[in-house]
Structure 1
């Protein structure tokens, strides 16, 4: 399992401390965690607009112009699955966490055992919440459940997501879509990405889906796709 964790605090020393503790937790649990750090709420929002892949955020309540509470409210406008853990030196703000469905408040200085306990809870919740993707389109964005995506196909500059409910088109490269889709999807051809969830079998030349459709499988990608299929099942 891979877990994308963001840490947002306006004190670099606090970021480094949380980064160290969260890294120890990930190592102890055998989790491949990817960390991103931000020294302001504005910086988080700027990067989140392009790559909204954080699944858990350790968020300082009191920061400069934009507080952690206000940042959490903006996150919740289009993301109800991200696990938000507030970090604060003052208990007065705890009531506001209910508005944004915060998982927990941790008081500074954060103790390792308390953080580990909260991260365990966050991981457990994420395993039961369907993963959703926020993908850019037409100057805005669209949210799609990862489990609804069967495969992606590129033609010219348009990447089409074939869903269980229809199709959605995006003006983006397949390599960018591959990064956005992340875990559970694999490239089987220069023009196709496929969800391992819907793969019934793999031959030397094709990936056969549950609905019987066959996607081409490049010879140089066979080993990686076949291994992913074996491990998934």
Structure 2
């Protein structure tokens, strides 16, 4: 864990509570030897405004009971863009726990926050970010989105623009070679204009590759052998 870096948001309409949680997070980071860029927000709306400009967050600690927009509603908005960010709800009540399943919340912490319990939850969040949620940052649509690699099925290129096909399509002005450098070994380049996630491949023929969501992609000449070898090697 040492040497890692996390961007963490604390969203709470109580300045005292937000400051206290921030202090606990910074203590956790110090003990674990990681860098934590922690920002506090006094309302869901303020965070959502910031999120619209910059979506590259790792962990969100959200108060449930806030003003016009509550933490659960905010989390639903976030999940439209990202399934990578780790969401932890902070609340004085327990009746909201069922709502957490809808937004894939990592955990609920009940106020007053216990430092040891918070540290355990942050450890879990960091572990998820290190393993299951390896991500790439995509600069598209006037902002930055953090996209988990496991959700990416394939990338293709048209002109000077690459489209990443994941939970939704992200199109950015960059070369396919540049985009492929951000990916891990589960991805293979097939010809000049296509990169495929091997974990998403269901069937390969001489001319097409069928993905697990039903998408069928045409293979360029000579790509069948390359893709088959990659699948065997990936195992």
Do Structure 1 and Structure 2 share a fold, with TM-score over 0.5? yes
Query: What's the CA shift string for 1:104-134, capped at 9, x where partnerless?
Result: 0001000100000000000001112121435
Aligned with residue 136 of structure 1, among 136, 140, 160: 140
- Compare the two structures and name the one with the higher helix fraction: 1
Aligned-pair CA distance for 1:77: 1.2
* Cα pair distance change 1:62/1:169, threshold 3 Å: closer
Moved more, 124-133 or 35-44: 124-133
The Cα of 1:162 is off from its aligned counterpart by: 9.8
SS at 2:95 equivalent = helix
Partner deviation per Cα, 1:171-213 (whole Å, 9 max, x = no partner) = 7xx9xxxxxxxxxxxxxxxxx9995778xxxxxxxxxxx9xxx
> Cα deviations across residues 64-95 of structure 1 (Å, max 9, x unaligned)?
00000100111111211111000000111111
- Whole-Å separation in 2 of the counterparts to 1:40 and 1:93: 18
1:17 to 12, 16, 20: 20
2:93 paired with 1:90:
yes
Cα contact 1:52–1:134 (8 A) shared by 2? no
Task: Please give the root-mean-square deviation of Cα atoms over the aligned residues, in Å.
Answer: 3.9
Aligned counterparts of 1:38 and 1:117: Cα–Cα separation in 2: 23
**Superposition map of 1:53-64 within 5 A:** 53-64=56-67
Q: Conserved in 2, the CA contact under 8 Å of 1:134 and 1:143?
A: yes
2:40 is equivalent to residue 37 of structure 1: yes
In 2 relative to 1, CA 120–48 (structure 1 residues): closer, same or farther, beyond 3 Å?
same
Name the structure 2 match of 1:75: 78
**1:118 match:** 121
What are the equivalent positions in structure 2 for 1:45-56 lying under 5 Å apart?
A: 45-56=48-59
CA-CA distance at 1:49 after TM superposition? 0.8
TM-score by length of 2: 0.62
Q: Is the 8 A contact 1:58 1:86 kept in 2?
A: yes
Is this contact kept in 2: 1:132–1:146, CA < 8 A?
yes
1-structure distance, mates of 2:60, 2:9: 5
Return the alpha-carbon distance in structure 2 between the equivalents of residues 80 and 67 of structure 1: 19
